[in-house]
């Protein structure tokens, strides 16, 4: 049945896959109709599972790997013989003046950390070996560090956790960088003795190898943006020289490992930063294709570029977090005539990038033609508010399931990251972890998102029922009256309505909400003004009376509820659990349907 004509209550997100994609395009072009204002994207994603034949609770393939990913320099601490440590000592390079001196002290606490991963039912973990520890000087190998990593990998095995080992994750020994690092034409040759020694000494404990992590991101941040060492800016020549040398290093490392460990599975991790056209215009489509071409390919011969994911490998490793829109702009010759900006309506991570779980399906489907197993080597959400991560995880994993149903051979998912850590030039600010780390005591605390991920991993399936989340804290300040906090209303069902004075559909639904409040005295109604001004709220209140408290948000945020724009209504039961949410103007029948869920 056409959802637009379905009788009775329905969610605003109850749309077909085709309608959803069309609606997103309208949103991006600024052409959203009044009745479609800010449709809740999470609701849309939940419906996508049903419209495409993937039902709730459907399991992942047998043997699916559930893990987290980490990098040695970001978690170990005291890693002082590499280019990143030297980079951190320069004032202004790292946010907040942070350094990796302590990081998470994982070097000494790895047993404790792996026990936590086992507690979260993980059967795999992606980690890196620190090259500068293994080969502190060119041609000299430290047997104590090799022994340490044998202990680390052995502990993972003891915990029943399959390691995926990354050989280069953004850090290089100082002796290597003194010779020009990855811009030196001999870089691949210098990399191989380390690869050979690790394969010889640790190969019996490793069956999954990732040679190089995100070569295009590494090169772009080091030679284009200056965010990574050696902090060059706009050096396109060395950018291509670096990724060309990294391609050679990967190919040589693949051959080296396979010669020593023929049964090993060897690949690399490619970062898929998705670029979307700002409109259907040919020039904007060209802009998006050009930007994507630049980040997805590396040189394979003079004048020839090929997709990174087509490199010699036994599997395809893909990392995906975010996307941007691209528009042709003739005033930007230094940016390839491309203006890049965040996707309107998509949630912003704490790193300022737009993120939507729906994109994961598209990213994975691009790999189907390669005919190889796929591992999602990194994916996650930078969010200090863990409720956002709890919403994100089931949504993105639904899209992994959809890609599997499409025929993509996805074998595993490695969430970034296991615990909050040193996020390179951003320091300790961004929080990606399933486990919190107290920066003073280094005490580890599993977050609710970690418990959720552990339940999914244990079941090898998404939950049969929607994930129920405790309502995040929120408070409003009515124009006349005392501050109202949700925590004070615990024990009664609550209808939390997000609105704005400039929002036409908000005024349209006001009589419906007011009538429901009068006829349901056992339910508290709260109106939270968002994206508004105090003057606008006050003027609206003078012309529209409410039988329940309304006012601007003065504690908490609408984003913590997954709300993009008004009107949106959240239904909270007497136990303080979010039972349902609806985006768009409510009618009486729809509101009655949702009220019955929290006040039967």
Q: Going by DSSP bridges, is the β-strand pair 484-485/475-476 parallel, antiparallel, or unpaired?
A: antiparallel
Beta-bridged to residue 163, according to DSSP, are 125
Beta-bridged to residue 431, according to DSSP, are none
CA distances from 482 to 186, 491, 501, 534 (A): 70, 20, 21, 16
* DSSP state letters, 277-338: ESSSSHHHHHHHHHHHHHHHEEEEETTEEEEGGGSS-SSEEEE---EEEEEE-TT-GGGTTE
Give the CA diameter of the chain: 80
- What SS3 class is residue 374? strand
- What SS3 class is residue 586? coil
Mean pLDDT taken over the chain: 89
- Look at the chain and count its residues: 600
Burial class (CB in 10 A: 0-12, 13-18, 19+), 497: buried
pLDDT in tens, 244-296: 999 999 999 999 999 999 999 999 999 999 999 999 999 999 999 999 999 99
CA distance 277 to 283: 9
Are the C-beta atoms of 412 and 80 separated by less than 8 Å?
no
Are the C-beta atoms of 549 and 481 separated by less than 8 Å?
yes
Domains observed in the chain: 65-467 (3.20.20.80), 470-598 (3.40.30.10)
- What SS3 class is residue 108? helix
Going by C-alpha positions, the residue among 147, 172, 159, 177 that lies closest to residue 121 is 159
CA distance 489 to 525: 10
In this predicted structure, what is the pLDDT of residue 463?
82
- What SS3 class is residue 225? coil
pLDDT in tens, 446-455: 998 999 999 9
In this predicted structure, what is the pLDDT of residue 584?
86
| 331: Cβ contacts below 8 Å, ≥ 6 apart | none
Beta-bridged to residue 65, according to DSSP, are 412
Going by C-alpha positions, the residue among 331, 192, 177, 327 that lies closest to residue 254 is 192
pLDDT in tens, 325-374: 999 999 999 888 999 999 998 999 999 999 999 999 999 999 999 999 99
| 396: Cβ contacts below 8 Å, ≥ 6 apart | 357, 360, 379
Residue 441 DSSP class: T
Instruction: Read off the pTM.
Output: 0.76
Are the C-beta atoms of 109 and 172 separated by less than 8 Å?
no
Q: Going by DSSP bridges, is the β-strand pair 323-328/274-277 parallel, antiparallel, or unpaired?
A: parallel
Residue 173 DSSP class: B
pLDDT in tens, the chain (600 residues): 323 322 233 332 322 232 333 333 333 333 332 222 222 333 334 333 333 333 344 689 999 999 999 999 999 999 999 999 999 999 999 999 999 999 999 999 999 999 999 999 999 999 999 999 999 999 999 999 999 999 999 999 999 999 999 999 999 999 999 999 999 999 999 999 999 999 999 999 999 999 999 999 999 999 999 999 999 999 999 999 999 999 999 999 999 999 999 999 999 999 999 999 999 999 999 999 999 999 999 999 999 999 999 999 999 999 999 999 999 999 999 888 999 999 998 999 999 999 999 999 999 999 999 999 999 999 999 999 888 899 899 999 999 999 999 999 999 999 999 999 999 999 999 999 999 999 999 999 999 899 999 999 999 999 876 666 788 899 999 988 899 999 899 889 999 999 999 999 999 999 999 999 999 999 999 999 999 988 899 899 888 888 999 999 999 988 788 787 899 999 999 988 888 888 889 999 999 999 999 998
């Amino acid at each position: 049945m056409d959802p637009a004509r379905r009788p009775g209550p329905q969610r605003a997100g109850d749309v077909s896959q085709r309608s959803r994609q069309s609606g997103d395009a309208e949103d991006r072009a600024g052409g959203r109709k009044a009745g479609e204002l800010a449709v809740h994207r999470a609701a849309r994603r939940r419906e996508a599972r049903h419209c495409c034949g993937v039902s709730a609770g459907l399991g992942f393939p047998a043997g699916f790997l559930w893990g987290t990913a980490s990098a040695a320099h970001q978690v170990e601490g005291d890693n002082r013989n590499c280019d990143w440590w030297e980079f951190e000592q320069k004032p202004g390079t790292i946010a907040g003046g942070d350094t990796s001196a302590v990081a998470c002290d994982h070097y000494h606490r790895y047993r404790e950390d792996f026990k936590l991963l086992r507690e979260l039912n993980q059967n795999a973990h992606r980690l890196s070996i620190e090259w500068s520890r293994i080969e502190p000087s060119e041609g000299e190998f430290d047997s104590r560090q090799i022994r340490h990593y044998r202990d680390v990998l052995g502990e993972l095995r003891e915990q029943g956790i399959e390691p995926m080992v990354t050989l280069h994750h953004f850090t290089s020994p100082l002796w290597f960088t003194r010779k020009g690092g990855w811009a030196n034409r001999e870089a691949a040759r210098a990399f191989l003795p380390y690869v050979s020694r690790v394969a010889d000494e640790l190969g019996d404990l490793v069956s999954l190898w990732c040679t190089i992590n995100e070569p295009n991101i590494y090169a772009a941040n080091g030679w284009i943006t200056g965010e990574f060492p050696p902090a060059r800016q706009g050096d396109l020549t060395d950018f291509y020289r670096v990724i060309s040398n990294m391609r050679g290093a990967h190919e040589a490392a693949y051959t080296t490992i396979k010669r020593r460990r023929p049964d090993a599975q060897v690949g690399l991790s490619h970062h898929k930063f998705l670029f979307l056209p700002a409109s259907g215009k040919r020039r904007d489509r060209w802009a998006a294709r050009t930007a994507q071409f630049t980040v997805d390919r590396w040189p394979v011969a003079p004048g020839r570029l090929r997709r990174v994911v087509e490199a010699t490998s036994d599997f395809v490793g893909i990392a995906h977090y975010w996307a941007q829109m691209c528009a042709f702009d003739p005033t930007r010759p230094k940016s390839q005539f491309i203006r890049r900006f965040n996707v309107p309506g998509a949630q912003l991570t704490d790193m300022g990038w737009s993120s939507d779980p729906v994109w994961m399906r598209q990213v994975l489907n691009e790999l189907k033609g390669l005919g190889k197993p796929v591992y999602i080597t990194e994916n996650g959400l930078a969010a200090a508010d863990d409720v956002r991560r709890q919403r994100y995880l089931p949504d993105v994993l639904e899209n992994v399931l959809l890609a599997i149903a499409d025929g993509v051979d996805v074998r595993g998912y490695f969430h970034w990251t296991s615990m909050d850590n040193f996020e390179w030039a951003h320091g300790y600010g961004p929080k990606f972890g399933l486990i919190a780390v107290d920066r003073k005591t280094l005490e580890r605390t599993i977050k609710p998102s970690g418990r959720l991920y552990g339940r999914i991993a244990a079941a090898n399936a998404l939950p049969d029922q929607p994930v129920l989340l405790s309502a995040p804290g929120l408070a409003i300040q009515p124009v006349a009256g005392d501050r109202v906090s949700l925590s004070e209303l615990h024990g009664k069902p609550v209808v939390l309505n997000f609105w704005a004075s400039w929002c036409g559909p908000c005024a349209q639904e006001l009589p419906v909400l007011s009538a429901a409040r009068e006829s349901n005295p056992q339910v508290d109604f709260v109106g939270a003004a968002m994206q508004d001004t105090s003057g606008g709220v006050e003027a609206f209140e003078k012309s529209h009376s409410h039988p329940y408290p309304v006012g601007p948000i003065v504690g908490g945020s609408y984003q913590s509820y997954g709300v993009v724009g008004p009107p949106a209504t959240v239904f909270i039961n007497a136990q303080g659990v979010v039972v349902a949410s609806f985006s768009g103007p409510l009618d009486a029948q729809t509101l009655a349907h949702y009220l019955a869920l929290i006040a039967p």
